[in-house]
Copies of this chain bind each other. A is one copy, B any other.
């Protein structure tokens, strides 16, 4: 059931929160703060949307961990991104009206679903929401630029170091420990994301562990030396 007060707290990090509490009112007549989005739970492995299906809703992650993948002609998949609490999914489908990628839950997830027609109406009514949404879209373009640079220019060690630091930072920005977290991912998935084979990912993680920069236990990571990882990220 919908619980306005609790949501207001839990949604603090959400990029789409303006869409939740702005269903009534305009810029001149302030909104009544009533959340009107659908919640949806996902089991591990369940797909939020698949490639080729029409765009009906945008999604904001409330809890859990998801991946978005591009499906290659030969059948296998390349991972485009990982998404946690507060991230927004589906923006790449607005241009064509059809999802060019698929999103899969990697563990138990909860997402908020905002129908696109509702989102459009909100943006037409309140310019501030439309502006905010444009910023959201632009942010993803800028982030994609960073990833293009990383994939084109960096060695395996740099990519893995960058990946670990990026995850740490994202967890930290959501109030969790920047030193210890679970990769909810197989080595193969990390490799797909970084443009490396799973053996190279495994070797590189082992190397970082041997240097005592991190401590790995399966998919659990503890960062022991942020500085060393940052150096590894910068140097040739």
Question: Interface residues, chain A, CB within 8 Å of chain B?
Answer: 70, 72-73, 78, 80, 91-96, 100-101, 120, 123-124, 127, 130-131, 133-142, 144-149, 151-153, 192-195, 234
Contacts and interface: CB of A to CB of B under 8 A. Distances in A.
A141 B78 contact: no
A94 B94 CA distance: 18
A19 to B, nearest CB: 14
A207 B96 CA distance: 37
Given A130-B123, A134-B94, A134-B133, A70 B149 contact: yes
A78 B149 contact: yes
13 contacts: A72-B153, A78-B148, A78-B149, A92-B138, A95-B138, A123-B127, A123-B130, A124-B130, A130-B130, A137-B138, A141-B141, A148-B151, A151-B195
Nearest to A194: B152
A120 B127 CA distance: 9
A145 B144 contact: yes
B144 A91 contact: no
Contacts of A78: 148-149, 152-153
A145 B92 contact: yes
A141 B70 contact: no
| Top 8 A-B residue pairs of the complex, sorted by shortest distance between their CB atoms | A152-B195, A144-B144, A94-B138, A95-B139, A137-B137, A95-B138, A151-B151, A92-B142
